[in-house]
Amino acid sequence: MRILCVDDDGLVLAVTADLLRELGHDVIEAGGGEAAQAIAATTPIDLLVTDIHMPGGPDGLQLAEYARTRRPGLPVIYFSGLAHVVPDGVDAVVLSKPCSLGQLEQAIGEA
pLDDT digits (tens, 9 = 90+) for 98-109: 888 999 999 899
Q: Which phi-psi region, left, alpha or beta, contains residue 89 (left: φ > 0; alpha: ψ -120 to 50)? A: left
Q: Which residues pair with 79 in a beta bridge?
A: 51, 95
DSSP summary character for residue 88: T
pLDDT digits (tens, 9 = 90+) for 15-73: 999 999 999 999 999 999 999 999 999 999 999 999 988 888 899 989 999 999 999 99
Q: Report d(CA 9, CA 45) in Å as an integer.
A: 21
The reported pTM is: 0.91
Q: Which helix (H) or strand (E) holds 4?
A: strand 2-6
Q: What is the pLDDT of residue 82?
A: 66
